[in-house]
């Protein structure tokens, strides 16, 4: 084991090369609905149990199924109302289980990125070859289903190995959502030397973290989204920032919660200098316009140090 | 280092669910539901009457609300018992004053333990739902089939005999089930259960002994979950229920009848500092002209024909 993941160098938020988003936007804003499939009876992983209860884990399984049966359409309607194209973190087995959802998102030109095959199949304990096969299967499944190869990754259930990001870059990926070290995209060092970036995805604004781990109230969730936006919008006058709201259709779409989310979205998208976009567009824009300057700045600072 | 090859096989990656208990279906793909008198949202309050033994075995799992301190955990035992002695009478008065009839899910051991409590509940025309024997009889994986069969039969027999009412519904303690629970419920004359909270309307649930109705009882809005687990204030709980009703009323205006289910515990909301928040919710619901306060069986009676019509 290593004491540092080794993907990036320390790079202070101050005095970086300035990021300019399209049309002078201050914040690149994206919403990442996780559309997941959890198995009722997954094979056992020696490092992590999928469910809190013995088979059948009715409470855990059924609320997640609720997300697909009930929650998805609600969230999609709200995102559509505010002109947000979702960037879907997809359990790619859903292409087989629930193709109706895939089609609804494809019709709306949403982005699909891979979140593994099932959210009950953890990376822990996989050989490199197994992990590569799993990631490749997930990439090809999306490509077959929607006709476009995904370029973003969020490891299933945020379960990683030391080579997860290297493998994804080798398989043609451009960006990962797995790292939470910054509010701007950052170049990542991968073993194959590919041009590859981290696009900020937020753990703190993630509805499941907010509701299940931090146990906050629905209206406070709406408030923290607004507060985060205000800060990133203000700082964005200096250099462009990124704001992501990762969601889960089984959390944000509950009847006592969706309105708070909707009002926060209305607030964010009601500002003039916001680039409402997708994870892929942020990664591609950054790679084309800012990646080289960032790498040069990081290298120069290393040399000075 | 590598995982067993099985870990990278996906035998159930096919259309629909990864089990055969029910069919995959999105809420918005179903025919719109019409509640009586053109009401938009059916509202069902369920009150769970529970007994938490002082000496729980906790097998195969310990249920939420169970004892947590070294034996004898008098503080939690008596705090739970408070609901049956004091809180429930506040509930009965509150429901009565707003003209709303809840259902009662009753741990069957209360039939013998607290006969006066059962009498008080039976004074209203409420529906009684099976709720196993106690809060130390979880229906969960690891329970032997024969033991669970006896548990289901014993619980339902006691409740049906004592109340004289047809007990058609079932709520498992902690909403847990074993792989056999649905079959055993069906074999004991149960028509619907409330444990699988994967929908907001009833749906058909298959068992080897015939179909059941699944009538999901919300977990996310439950008083115990919001107040005890999430540590939200009682005022916030009331706000969340009212927000949910408001949301469903709006959705119903374009998508057909919706259902709001609220799970309550006298040992949680029956405390003096919490009662006014339950009353605020009851008052709000009672004053909402588009809400239909209904019992679970009343909901199913209306719902069933609408689906039969739609299905060839």
| Structural domain range at position B191 | 34-310
| Best B33, B140, B247 residue to mutate vs chain A (most A CBs within 10 Å) | B247
Round to whole Å and give the CA distance between B303 and B37. 14
The ipTM, to two decimals, is 0.96
- Give domain status of residue A63, yes or no: yes
- Give domain status of residue B236, yes or no: yes
- Give domain status of residue A5, yes or no: no
**Residues of chain A above pLDDT 90, percent:** 99
* Structure confidence at residue B308 as a pLDDT band (50, 70, 90): low
Round to whole Å and give the CA distance between A74 and A217. 19
* Confidence check: pLDDT of B307 > 80: no
- Give domain status of residue B48, yes or no: yes
- Give domain status of residue A9, yes or no: no
Tell me the pLDDT tens digit for each residue of A20-45.
Answer: 999 999 999 999 999 999 999 999 99
Q: What is the DSSP letter of A85?
A: P
CATH of the domain at B282: 3.20.20.370
Domain total for chain A? 1
- A56/B178 CB distance under 8 A: yes
Please count the residue pairs, one from chain A and one from chain B, whose beta carbons lie less than 8 angstroms apart.
149
Decide: pTM greater than 0.95: yes
CA distances from B104 to B88, B129, B171, B269 (A): 11, 6, 10, 15
Domain total for chain B? 1
User: Least CA distance to B240: which residue of chain A?
Assistant: A256
- Mean pLDDT, chain A, rounded, equals 98
Distance, in angstroms, between A97 CA and closest chain B CA?
A: 4
- Give domain status of residue A17, yes or no: no
- A62/B197 CB distance under 8 A: yes
- Give domain status of residue A8, yes or no: no
- A259/B247 CB distance under 8 A: yes
CATH of the domain at A264: 3.20.20.370
- Give domain status of residue A14, yes or no: no
* Structure confidence at residue A305 as a pLDDT band (50, 70, 90): confident
- Give domain status of residue B244, yes or no: yes
Distance, in angstroms, between B245 CA and closest chain A CA?
A: 7
Round to whole Å and give the CA distance between A76 and A265. 13
By Cβ distance, the residue of B10, B198, B246 closest to A93 is: B10
Distance, in angstroms, between A215 CA and closest chain B CA?
A: 5
* Confidence check: pLDDT of A221 > 70: yes
Distance, in angstroms, between A1 CA and closest chain B CA?
A: 14
- Give domain status of residue A4, yes or no: no
- Give domain status of residue B2, yes or no: no
| Structural domain range at position A37 | 22-304
- Give domain status of residue A13, yes or no: no
By Cβ distance, the residue of B4, B198, B239 closest to A63 is: B198
- Give domain status of residue B1, yes or no: no
Which residues of chain B neighbour A105 with C-beta distances below 8 Å? none
* Structure confidence at residue B306 as a pLDDT band (50, 70, 90): confident
Round to whole Å and give the CA distance between B247 and B117. 36
- Give domain status of residue B18, yes or no: no
Instruction: Kindly state the average pLDDT of the residues B278-288.
Output: 98
Percentage helix, strand, coil, to 5, in chain B?
45, 10, 45
């Amino acid at each position: 084991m290593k004491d540092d993941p080794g993907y990036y160098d320390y790079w202070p938020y101050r005095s970086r090369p300035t990021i300019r988003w399209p049309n002078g936007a201050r914040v690149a804003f994206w919403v990442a609905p996780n559309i997941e499939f959890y198995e009722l009876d997954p094979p056992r992983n020696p490092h992590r149990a999928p469910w809190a209860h013995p088979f059948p884990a009715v409470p855990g399984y059924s609320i997640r199924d609720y997300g697909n049966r009930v929650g998805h359409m609600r969230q999609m309607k709200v995102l559509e109302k505010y002109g947000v194209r979702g960037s879907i973190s997809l359990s790619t087995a859903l292409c087989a289980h629930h193709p109706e959802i895939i089609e609804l998102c494809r019709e709306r030109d949403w982005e699909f990125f891979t979140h593994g095959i099932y959210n009950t199949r953890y990376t822990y304990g996989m050989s490199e070859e197994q992990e590569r096969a799993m990631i490749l299967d997930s990439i090809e499944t999306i490509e077959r289903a929607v006709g476009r190869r995904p370029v973003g990754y969020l490891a299933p259930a945020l379960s990683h190995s030391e080579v997860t990001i290297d493998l994804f870059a080798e398989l043609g990926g451009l960006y990962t959502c797995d790292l939470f070290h910054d509010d701007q995209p950052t170049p990542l060092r991968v073993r194959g030397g590919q041009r590859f970036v981290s696009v900020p995805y937020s753990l703190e604004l993630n509805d499941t973290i907010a509701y299940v781990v931090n146990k906050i109230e629905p209206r406070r969730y709406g408030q923290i989204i607004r507060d985060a936006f205000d800060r990133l919008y203000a700082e964005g006058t200096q250099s462009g920032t990124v704001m992501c709201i990762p969601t889960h259709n089984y959390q944000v779409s509950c009847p006592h919660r969706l309105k708070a989310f909707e009002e926060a979205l209305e607030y964010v998208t009601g500002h003039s200098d916001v680039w409402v976009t997708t994870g892929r567009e942020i990664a591609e824009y950054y790679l084309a316009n800012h990646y080289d300057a960032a790498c040069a700045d990081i290298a120069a600072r290393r040399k000075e140090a | 280092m590598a995982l067993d090859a099985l870990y990278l096989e996906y035998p159930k990656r096919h259309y629909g669910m990864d089990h055969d208990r029910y069919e995959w279906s999105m809420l918005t793909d179903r025919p719109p539901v019409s509640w009586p008198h053109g009401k938009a949202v059916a509202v069902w309050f369920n009150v769970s009457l529970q007994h938490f033994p002082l000496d729980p075995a906790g097998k195969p799992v310990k249920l939420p609300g169970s004892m947590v301190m070294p034996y004898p955990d008098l503080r939690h035992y008596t705090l739970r018992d408070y609901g049956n002695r004091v809180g429930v009478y506040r509930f009965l008065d509150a429901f009565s004053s707003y003209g709303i009839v809840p259902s009662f899910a009753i741990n069957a051991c209360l039939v013998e333990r607290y006969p006066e409590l059962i009498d008080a509940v039976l004074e209203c025309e409420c529906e009684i739902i099976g709720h196993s024997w106690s809060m130390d009889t979880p229906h969960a994986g690891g329970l032997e089939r024969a033991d669970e069969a006896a548990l289901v039969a014993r619980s339902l027999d006691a409740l049906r005999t004592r109340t004289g009412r047809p007990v058609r519904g079932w709520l498992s303690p902690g909403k847990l089930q074993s792989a056999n629970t649905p079959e055993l419920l069906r074999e004991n004359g149960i028509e619907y259960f409330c444990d699988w909270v994967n929908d907001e309307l009833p749906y058909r649930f298959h068992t080897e002994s015939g179909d059941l109705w699944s009538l999901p009882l919300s977990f996310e809005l439950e008083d115990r979950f919001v107040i005890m687990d999430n540590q939200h204030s009682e005022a916030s709980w009331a706000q969340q229920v009212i927000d949910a009703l408001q949301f469903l009323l709006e959705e119903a205006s374009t998508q057909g009848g919706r259902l709001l289910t609220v799970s309550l515990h006298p040992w949680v909301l029956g405390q003096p500092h919490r009662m006014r928040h339950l009353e605020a919710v009851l008052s709000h619901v009672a004053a909402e002209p588009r809400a239909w306060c209904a019992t679970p069986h009343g909901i199913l009676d209306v719902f069933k024909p609408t689906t039969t019509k739609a299905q060839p």
